[in-house]
Structure formats: C-alpha cells, structure tokens
A = this chain, B = another copy of it.
Amino acid sequence: MNKVSSVIQRVQKLVEPSNEQRYLVENVYTNVKEVLSKELKRVFPDFDITLQGSVAKDTFLPDEVDLDVFVLFPETVSKEWFEKVFVNIVINTFKNYGPEILYAEHPYVRINMKGIEVDIVPAYRLRPGEKPRTAVDRTPLHTKYVIDHLAENQRKEVRLLKLFMKTLGIYGAEIKVKGFSGYLCELLVIAYGSFLEVLRAATKWRPFKICIDIEKHYTTYKDCLETFRNSPLVVVDPVDPLRNAASAVSLKSLARFMVAAFSFLEKPSENYFTSEQVENYVPEIVKNLGIASIIINIPRLSPDVLWGELQRVAKRFADELKYLGFEVIDVGIWSDEKKVAIIIAETIPQELPSIELHIGPPAWNFNHVKKFIEKNRGVIISGPWIRDDGKVVILRPRKIRKLKEAIERRLNLILIAPHINLESIKEICTDIECLEKYTRDYRDLMPWLKKHLKKRDKALLSMY
C-alpha cells in the first residue's frame, strides 16, 4: 500500500460519524418532524417536511451534525405568511428548545434538541428548471441531485475532502471564509470520482480558466468561461446552468487549495487533516513590525453582514496606512461575532522617516502650482523643484510618522461600514502588549494571534 492510501486509511476514522451520532440525529429528525407536522396541520394542510443538507446526503463530518429541516409549501403561500405565521408556529412548538430567529433572505428558526442544532426553514416546492422564489428554494434540488449522483462509497470521499478543506480553513461559502461549500465539495467528488482525483485535478487547474460542467449545460468550454467571467473557479450548478456553485471561492482560497493538493500529493501526511497545536511562542517578528490594530465593539449581526463590514473596514485600514507611506504586509480580522472584533495590519516600518517627498501638479498648471507652493509655504525643507516628468515637488517634514497617530487621524476614512463607526472604537493598539490584554477575555484570540503573526500556511505544509 502506498503512502497516500495509508494516510487516507488512517484518516478515515476522523471523518466517519459514530453509530451513536447517526442514531441521535435520526432520532432528533423524526421527533422534530412529528411534532412540527402535527402543529402545522392545524393551520395549513399542504406542506412537506424534508431533511436537507449534509445529514440528508450522508456526507456530514462528525462535528457537523446540524440538521437542516426544510418545510416546503406551494407557491400560493406568501413570503409574509412565512415571516408572520410560520415562524411563530415553530417558535411556539419548540419553545422548550431555545428557539432563535435567524435572518437569511427571510427568517427561519434555530432550535437545539439533545445537543443538536436544528434549523427549521420554510421554502417553496420547486421543480427542476423552475425559477426559485427565495434563496433557499434551490436546496431540495441540490439534495436530490447529490443523492441521485453520489455513489454510496463516494460519501466518505466527500467527507475527506471536507475535512481537508476545513483544516485549511477554506471550508464554507460564507463571507468570512470565501471558500468551498459542502455542496461544492460534493459536486467535485461527483465530477472527479474520489478525494484523490479531486486533488489530482486541482493541481492541473489554472485560476480563471477552470470550468467544471458536470451536466454539460454548455456546449463549449469557451461559452462556459464567458458566462462566468472573472471567476477564479467555475463549477456549473447541475440544477441551474446560470449559477456558479463555486462563486464564493476567492482567488486566495482557490490558490491555497491547489497548492495544498500538490503539497499533499507530494508528501502525504495526516497533518493535512488535523489542526496543529499552536506553539507557546510569541513571534520575534513583532519587534520589527508595526502592529496597527483597532479593537471594535460590534453589534449583533448576521455573520455574513458582520464579516462583510469587517473586511471592508480592514481594506480601508490597509489603504490608508499605505497612503501615508507604510508598507502593509498583511491584514487580519478576529471576532467573537458577538461583542468585539480586532483588525490588525502589520506594517514596515514601525515608524516613518522624518521627511517626505510631496508631489505637486505639473509645472504648466500654473495656478495649481501657485496654490501648491502657497499651501506648503513655511514647511518646505528643500525645493520646490521640477522633476523629469514636469511635476513640481518639495521635501517637507512628515506630519504623521507614528502608527497610532496615523490610525487616529484617518479613522473617519476607515470606518465606512453601516454598523461600524467612530463610536464603535474600543481602543487603538500599536503594540503586542496592548493586544494581549484582550487575550484574557477572549480565549481563542491568543492562538489566532500567534498563528496570524507566524503566517505559516498549512497549504504549503510539505514544502517547508
């Protein structure tokens, strides 16, 4: 038996749910279905309670045993009815199971039964080819497609692929991750046959030039690529030719998956399926890097909204630091998703030089030149002189040299997200000690911080 097979065999036990888990899940589903069915029938007779998601497809990982229970209605029912009547019925029915209302495109209910999270989601019955009315209506078609096309022995292949993705941190289509959804993992296994074949195929991909079209909805590769222009990876949704099932996958996630595939095939190891212990090690590097950080009080928001806003703010943060003259090495975001978020940008240098070149207008824009010189009168150290490109320039003392001041002065340009503003700022930190205070209150911050600062990407595991 070769190295790859033996690694995969040893990893197999990590991805297989136990009999107890399977039994529990089935039991919970039967229970929910029965109780809910009885209550719903009193109000409205025409519905189907169905199981969706990875449990329905038997492709779930042992630590991913959440249930997606979809209640399908005919199109005569209105969306308002979902919101106003259905949600209340569900909440009342399961009031002893800590029901919570969550909002995607429309609200749904989450309960917790015997330690298992159950999402109860209303949707419209949809036949293949029909236009979905809500974002979740397509889900039953996905479930059916996977059940019909994934052979029983391929389920473990999906599980391996999911764990591989998960270990890399690219499992999930949510904005935080920008990675591979469970459905996408299933489609890849259907397309290529097995976990290993998916990896082998991935090493031959080229970003922006991949089009995986299982149902051959497109007659040519070119057609497909043109329909989904600017997508690093295209996997045509078998149940909807105009949808890219990989649209969430960022270039970075794709690149990381590809290189991890290569790296794993070259030197297979169980480490690709297990999270390493974070060493008890504060990287030396922080002594030589600027550690620009904003600690933000966040409101309770749906994770996609929250991470979308945090990512926008992080991008503005980096842009403003670059504008002032810092080289921004990397930006990281940590959040407990409840109370606090931390955005860190590492910079070179820690403090900017005392003078700066200030570039003015071309010499032949005389009135602009006059204004430029007038505005800087009194702070000109050298110049004004005229460069080869005809622009008037001066040397002047740099106003902002320290990271702390840089952040403070630019905060109003950085905080441009709807739910994050100047009042959200808890603190501005520019050294590691300042950040370490927060590691006391948020236990998973420290491991994240160390990993973030060390930046050793698992995708490259076999190469270093």
Contact = CB atoms under 8 A, between A and B. Distances in A.
Nearest to A365: B259
Complex A-B, nearest 10 residue pairs according to Cβ-Cβ distance, in ascending order? A255-B390, A255-B363, A259-B363, A349-B353, A385-B455, A262-B366, A382-B455, A385-B457, A383-B455, A373-B463
8 contacts: A207-B362, A255-B364, A255-B390, A259-B364, A259-B392, A283-B381, A289-B355, A386-B459
Nearest to A349: B353
Interface string A425-464: 0000000000000000000000000000111110110011
A95 interface: no
A382 B285 contact: yes
A203 interface: yes
A54 interface: no
A354 B364 CA distance: 41
Interface in A54-86: none
A395 B255 CA distance: 19
Interface string A369-387: 1100110010011111111
A384 B289 CA distance: 16
A262 B361 CA distance: 15
Nearest to A394: B455
Contact of A259 (B252, B283, B369): B369
A104 interface: no
Given A348-B355, A366-B203, A386 B259 contact: yes
A363 B285 contact: no
A207 B251 contact: no
Contact of A258 (B256, B258, B364, B380): B364
A363 B256 contact: yes
Contacts of A366: 203, 259, 262
Interface in A271-294: 283-285, 288-289
Copies in the complex: 2
A377 B464 contact: yes
Interface residues of A, number: 60
A270 to B, nearest CB: 21
A127 interface: no
B388 A250 contact: yes
Given A348-B357, A373-B460, A384-B460, 13 more contacts: A207-B390, A250-B388, A252-B386, A252-B387, A283-B381, A285-B355, A285-B381, A289-B355, A329-B357, A330-B385, A349-B349, A380-B464, A386-B460
Most B CB contacts (10 A, CB to CB) among A395, A454, A459 go to A395
Instruction: Find the residue from A288, A387, A454, A463 having the highest chain B CB count within 10 A.
Output: A463
A28 to B, nearest CB: 39
Contacts of A206: 364
